[in-house]
Structure 1
Amino acid sequence: MSARLDRRSLLFAGGAAALFPWLPAWAQPVSAGLPAVGGDDIRLTIARQMLHVDGKMRHAIGINGTVPGPLVRLKEGQTARIHVTNELDEDSSIHWHGLILPFQMDGVPGLSFPGIAPGKTFTYEFPVRQAGTYWYHSHSGLQEQLGHYGPLVIDPAGDDPAPHDREHVVVLSDFSALHPHVIFKKLKQMGGYFNRQKQTLADLLSGEGQPLGERAAWGAMRMDPTDISDVTGSTYSYLVNGHGPADNWTALFAPGERVRLRFVNASAMTTFNVRIPGLKMTVVQADGQDVRPVPVDELQIAVAETYDVIVSPEDRAYTLVGESVDRSGMARATLAPRAGMAAPVPPLRPRPLATMKDMGMGGMDHGAMGHAPSEGGAKMDHRMRDLSLAPTVADTPTVQSISPMPMDRTGEPGQGLEDVPGALTYRDLAALHRNPDTRAPTRRMHIHLTGNMERYMWAFDGVKLNEVKEPIPFTQGERVRVTLVNDTMMAHPIHLHGHFFELVTGKGDHAPRKHTVNVQPGGTVTFDLTADAYGDWAFHCHLLYHMHAGMMQVVTVRPEEAA
């Protein structure tokens, strides 16, 4: 079969860059149906529109008439000037996720700027000081869930350390016909409202799932081992670049090419397990930062993370699978050498079940449930609320449990992938270049991720955003070691605005640098932070409804004399 692509196929695949090499990078189509904007002055318009998903029309919010919004393409070293017009009937905003910029340009209403009023235009202007794959989204209300997001790629000033012949941006997201405020209301009424995969009597009789005694213990603690995702495929369609699974969004290539896939998880609530059956992926970038190449068969991408991979496909079609972490649905696309091709779509795998580790009990045996000794010798009650384990955590209704034996889980690939060979872990990542700051930390802090699933309340250290009295203070330039302790049964992708941090995973001065890190249930993550960005910065869980329910605080960075 011919390896050649005709002109129509090239245009369909976003390969028109090969036909028009004189165009600047931002003007060269990258992926099918994904327009691009760039240059010295960029104009974006936020407005309501209809979105066509798997044959149905849905109400959405788009940017420049598309969901996701257009690919914003910048160049390292330029000054970005982006004019954003709000045509909604409510305030809006754009946050440039993962970008290092003045805090006044960060795009968080009430913190870094007032927001963009209806009918008004705000101009973001900032120096572009980095390269890589990033994205942008609303930080106003729950607009992100309605489609207010888009990809952002910054081309390096010099040579790209991961050369490739073609690239495709792959924006993964979730979309529901329900209005986001309705979704949130249902979660407040019943935290497990969207969980349609609960264990049944039939499971017990068939020997699937958990044995009766273990189920009883979970019930006594008012916890559900099937509660992996708050919002599921019962209401969500999972999208690739705005297209549902039946739409079969297709990315074309010429056999023999090195193809770069820039994955962005722009979901409101969904962690995806990404694989391409029959095709090895080599991870070359995480959160926009170059890493030493890591060959993998599958990777878990949390909300707000980005991963760049290189693939070398043969002359056949492949299915790109983005399976939701709870296995209630999947985003699906195709990589193919010619338009109209498709590959078999694998069935959804069996749902995962939460384990003792996910409850923060580490390697504790099942018989220890409900009466494990704490570090101070006290007994755990049935709610696992021994606050002596976390003396800095406020005793509030937001704290349903305190993990008695939390453990570092950065060497694990994530829920549902424990037995999957070749799955990526955080410990597989190492920075390609030496870290810019290798000083030892001078201060340490622990932050607990707390929640109450029954009442759908989420917080840091038991204190919701509307209850916070003081921000988290940092002195400009100081080096701090931060440990996040997840006291809940859900993973939390934690994002710090305006900064990168280095994960403490044994990689020394080549520790992987990230702006968002997924903290597994009952797990801990430790990172070193250089607080070098003056200003006020948002710090929050990137699960949209968790942030909306209170899991957010403010970090302040001030010079020493003003601290």
Structure 2
Amino acid sequence: MTKPHLSRRRLIGSTAALAAATALPMPLWARGRSLTHANQGFGSVSGEDIKLAIGDHHFSTGGRSGHAIAVNGTVPGPLIRLKEGQDVRLHVTNNLNEDSSIHWHGLLLPFQFDGVPGVSFPGIKPGQTFTYEFPVRQNGTYWWHSHSGLQEQAGHYGPIIIESAEPDPRYDRDYIVLLSEFTPIHPHEIMRKLKVGEHYFQRQMNSAVEGDLSGAERRMWGNMRMNPRDISDVTGSTYTYLINGHGPADDLQLEFKPGERVRLRVINGSAMTFFNVRIPGVAMTVIQADGKDVEEVEIDEFQIGTAETYDVIVQPKDGSHAIVAEAMDRSGMGIASLTSHKGHTATPPPLRKIPTLTMTDMGMMDHAAMGHDMGDIGDMDHNMRDTSLLPADVKVGPGIDMVAPMPTDRMDFPGLGLDKVAHRALRYTDLKAKRMNPHREIDREMEIHLTGNMERYMWSFDGKKFTSVTDDPIRFGYNERVRVKLVNQTMMAHPIHLHGHFFEMVNGADHMHQPLKHTMVVQPGGTATFDLTANEPGDWAFHCHLLYHMHAGMMQVVTVRPFPESAKS
């Protein structure tokens, strides 16, 4: 039995050691200010037998510090490096005083090792060790995180890199860029505050009515008891935004040599944040989405939803360049420097103007943009609350306080705040699978509605809050080909994740080149569609990856049956 190869580093005392651990395939450095706590940053584990230990921790960055949950003593936890075609056994020991788990996000594996308590296994009790064991059937950029309670918010997450059996000659240097947040507030206290008042963490809402809107628009939003800057539930008022576990004050630096092509594996490992990612003055070429190869597309900025990954190649000029991960509501940003000068940091750009929601985000025609009269505000408010517009299988009740009267396909929308930038912003419609998909006719079509009551902080699918695996699951026959249309009845974007599978986004590409994804953002008041071949038997979680939305009920179980003969042994 091969013993796990553990990083020599047990305690990372500087950003230099951090980037050495996160750079692939050769050890690289990053240099910055010393950190106040030795265990900030993460190491690397690999091999066929890997040991992971979950425990309590203390984390500090900038002016914020507080309790965290660490894995192998670090926040984020270690990079797990695997190779396509190998077998792996991951021995996870829970040293917390509460149950825990690890879900391997985006990995194809037997469902009993997917790591979702109450769905695919019981969870890991305090003091116990659970061994996940499966063959590695893919390559690419992925990540792992807790699926127990709200532990993911507290630091229980980390990256996964699976090396391809076929080397890629397109780049010379390889870095992880893991985006996340830190807050000293306990996640259960955040959830309590959101239930008491969903605007608790928002500090930018009132200013929206001053200069951005006409008088008619202000009256319209006021009468609807909504705010056009109701963008993010939890914001920079409590979050410090992190790159590789480092806040802006930590001066994280990633080195390159002039002329080198650098691969950046961008992972959104946050609990609640959409990030707009750019390197001012440096073009990015997207080569993978959610670990799957796509045709190369050159862009200047992309929005990444919670739980998505994008791999890009850049070729920066000599000097220092800011890697900017700006929160979608522009309440803060994560910062690192891509530099060819050891010890030099780039000056980050200022935060941009806060974006404002439009009637399109409410699932209505944008009357102001079309130059029309705002019409009868009372009628508009009535239409947005008219549950008779919903299909009969959507449960109508206190869990729904908004209906999108005219939801439209928004796959071509680059994300809030990026639709009017002068440079190239990535859209889902830009993505095409690099390898041809098998040709399959659609066997069945279904529609799922994303529903919520923002004031009461209730979130659901089809108006039905998830409570247990025995609740009416979404049923697919093994190897059935289903077209699933997601209809967002809310004014917030939702990153929807299906465990255990990759689906094909119906984004305008021909059906043989629809891009494969495991997580897809459904824009406010819009629709998004995917084609799924349900070829992974078992019970799988299906949920919004905004942590507090999932915790509030926006989750369901997908069950794929029967098991094929080859999987019954």
* Corresponding position of 2:427: 425
CA distance in 2, matches of 1:171, 1:480: 33
1:64-75 aligned at under 5 Å gives the runs 64-75=72-83
Whether contact under 8 Å (1:13, 1:250) holds in the other structure is: no
* Corresponding position of 2:413: 412
1:497-550, Cα deviation, whole Å (9 max, x unpaired): 000000111212111100000011011100000001100000000000000000
Kindly indicate whether residue 38 of structure 2 is the aligned counterpart of residue 38 of structure 1.
no
SS of equivalent to 1:465:
coil
Report the CA distance between 1:345 and its aligned residue: 1.2
* Corresponding position of 1:471: 473
Out of 234, 253, 256, the residue aligned to residue 256 of structure 2 is 253
Identity of aligned residues (%): 58
1:207-235, Cα deviation, whole Å (9 max, x unpaired): x1212221221122222111000000011
State the one-letter code of the partner of 2:197.
M
Kindly indicate whether residue 323 of structure 2 is the aligned counterpart of residue 320 of structure 1.
yes
CA distance in 2, matches of 1:540, 1:366: 39
Unaligned runs of 5+ in 2: 1-13, 32-40
1:319-354, Cα deviation, whole Å (9 max, x unpaired): 110000000111111111133211121110010111
* Corresponding position of 1:241: 244
Kindly indicate whether residue 356 of structure 2 is the aligned counterpart of residue 349 of structure 1.
no
* Corresponding position of 2:66: 58
1:280-319 aligned at under 5 Å gives the runs 280-319=283-322
Kindly indicate whether residue 393 of structure 2 is the aligned counterpart of residue 392 of structure 1.
yes
* Corresponding position of 1:223: 226
Kindly indicate whether residue 131 of structure 2 is the aligned counterpart of residue 130 of structure 1.
no
CA distance in 1, matches of 2:407, 2:516: 23
* Corresponding position of 1:116: 124
CA distance in 1, matches of 2:183, 2:16: 30
* Corresponding position of 2:536: 533
Report the CA distance between 1:561 and its aligned residue: 10
CA distance in 1, matches of 2:181, 2:455: 24
State the one-letter code of the partner of 1:388.
L
Kindly indicate whether residue 175 of structure 2 is the aligned counterpart of residue 168 of structure 1.
yes
* Corresponding position of 1:550: 553
CA distance in 1, matches of 2:376, 2:563: 47
Kindly indicate whether residue 105 of structure 2 is the aligned counterpart of residue 97 of structure 1.
yes
What root-mean-square deviation, in Å, do the aligned CA atoms of Structure 1 and Structure 2 show?
A: 2.3
CA distance in 1, matches of 2:145, 2:459: 22
State the one-letter code of the partner of 1:470.
D
SS of equivalent to 2:374:
helix
* Corresponding position of 1:262: 265
State the one-letter code of the partner of 1:124.
Y
* Corresponding position of 1:442: 443
SS of equivalent to 1:144:
helix
CA distance in 2, matches of 1:180, 1:485: 29
Out of 479, 483, 486, the residue aligned to residue 484 of structure 1 is 486
SS of equivalent to 1:77:
coil
1:6-40, Cα deviation, whole Å (9 max, x unpaired): xxx9975846999xxxxxx7895687754211011
| Distance change in 2, residues 1:63/1:366 (3 Å) | farther
Count matched residues: 536
**TM-score scaled to structure 1, two decimals?**
0.91
Whether contact under 8 Å (2:17, 2:29) holds in the other structure is: no
CA distance in 1, matches of 2:51, 2:385: 52
1:434-455, Cα deviation, whole Å (9 max, x unpaired): 11x3212110001000011100
Whether contact under 8 Å (1:304, 1:542) holds in the other structure is: yes
State the one-letter code of the partner of 1:192.
H
CA distance in 2, matches of 1:141, 1:353: 32
CA distance in 1, matches of 2:455, 2:444: 35
Out of 190, 195, 206, the residue aligned to residue 199 of structure 1 is 206
Report the CA distance between 1:396 and its aligned residue: 1.4
CA distance in 1, matches of 2:74, 2:296: 33
| Distance change in 2, residues 1:442/1:363 (3 Å) | farther
CA distance in 2, matches of 1:149, 1:360: 34
SS of equivalent to 1:381:
helix
SS of equivalent to 2:191:
helix
Whether contact under 8 Å (2:441, 2:481) holds in the other structure is: yes
Whether contact under 8 Å (1:408, 1:523) holds in the other structure is: yes
CA distance in 2, matches of 1:541, 1:120: 29
